[in-house]
Structure 1
């Protein structure tokens, strides 16, 4: 279960101009590059496909690097909290779209993953603007790992020519879809539960206040 935490008030906290955020921005720029390289290669399994695979792996690996740097240096910013998931989802989404355009991944897989990723990312950004930080759940973290490995295998030129590599990519993508849907449902359930708890707390506070006023009268 994810528990919302308070975000920095606007205008407070560390400066967004730091190394962790720079790495995040570079990751965002890598995403369209991966898509272009995939489409240029057109399933030839050549240099462009290798570059697409390499950029994807480097980008997903850097996700842990910028997060570690931000926490260890005390440089966690609201910009980073918003940009980091955008970088991850952008890379995942564009890589899957490219693979689906080429016919290497079924569109239903890409659509299900994109719907979940976009929906939860928007939810977390809205929550952040309301002063709440929605941390990643365990299922969400596992989903991210499985998704990354699955897409990396599917991107690899080996998956174009080696049967067991292609089957491995499909199995991993199937597991990623299951985890994606499951983690998305848990976020929704936790959000509804949290909203009800906050509403109940507000009602209780209001009721206490009204009771106090009546007592003084």
Structure 2
């Protein structure tokens, strides 16, 4: 198993640890910043999320730089991303920091695009990530990180940065999903 795939597996293994640390109240209380409170468990969980999200960039960089791209990696890397994002979305809903409908839009798009990719793969086609899809991922990860840290340090200016980023992520989620289906409608032609 090559290094990028090991990094992707490490990302998957960080997910349960991230959720436990985020959702289990630690006995260390909260930190105050500009009048806002950040529970230590959320800071630790948020830090683990940022670390896990950074491994997404790292494994891709190493795979491309050293020509270590593999079929297993093409399967594992997006799966690890989807699991991490879904875990963060569900955690934020449980913490009452994110409306459930936003999570449903994001998760539904991921299921739909993954399903289309599976149908395409069965026909011998590979659907690569689009620039819109990559921007969607960047905004999702940024929004989730800011929400996990309760909008710190943006609370100084009373800016709901996490929700602003999440609205952008939701819009990119919808637009990129429509884009994938329009550009790849040939995948379903003849099978309906």
TM normalised by structure 2 equals 0.84
How many angstroms does 1:158 deviate by?
A: 4.9
Counterpart residue number, 1:29? 13
Counterpart residue number, 1:75? 68
Instruction: Describe the superposition over 1:104-151 as per-residue Cα deviations: whole angstroms up to 9, x where unpaired.
Output: 000001111111112212332443344322111111111111111100
Matches within 5 A, 1:4-43: 17-41=1-25
Q: Is the 8 A contact 1:35 1:52 kept in 2?
A: yes
Using CA pairs below 8 Å that are at least 6 residues apart, which structure has the higher relative contact order?
A: 1
Give, in whole Å, the separation in 2 of the partners of 1:166 and 1:94: 25
Are 1:124 and 2:124 counterparts? no
How many angstroms does 1:160 deviate by?
A: 10
Give, in whole Å, the separation in 2 of the partners of 1:117 and 1:93: 10
How many angstroms does 1:163 deviate by?
A: 7.2
Partner SS, residue 97 of structure 2: coil
Instruction: Describe the superposition over 1:38-83 as per-residue Cα deviations: whole angstroms up to 9, x where unpaired.
Output: 2213996333211211111111111121112112222111111011
Q: Is the 8 A contact 2:120 2:187 kept in 1?
A: no
CA radius of gyration, larger in: 1
Partner SS, residue 54 of structure 2: helix
Can you give the 5+ residue segments of structure 2 that lack an aligned partner in the other structure?
Answer: 31-37
Q: Is the 8 A contact 1:153 1:159 kept in 2?
A: yes
How many angstroms does 1:161 deviate by?
A: 9.9
Match of 1:171 among 159, 164, 167: 164
Instruction: Describe the superposition over 1:160-214 as per-residue Cα deviations: whole angstroms up to 9, x where unpaired.
Output: 9937566111111111101001101111111214555xx7xxxxxxxxxxxxxxx
Counterpart residue number, 1:52? 45
Give, in whole Å, the separation in 2 of the partners of 1:148 and 1:31: 14
Can you give the 5+ residue segments of structure 1 that lack an aligned partner in the other structure?
Answer: 1-16, 200-217
Match of 1:101 among 94, 115, 118: 94
Counterpart residue number, 1:215? none
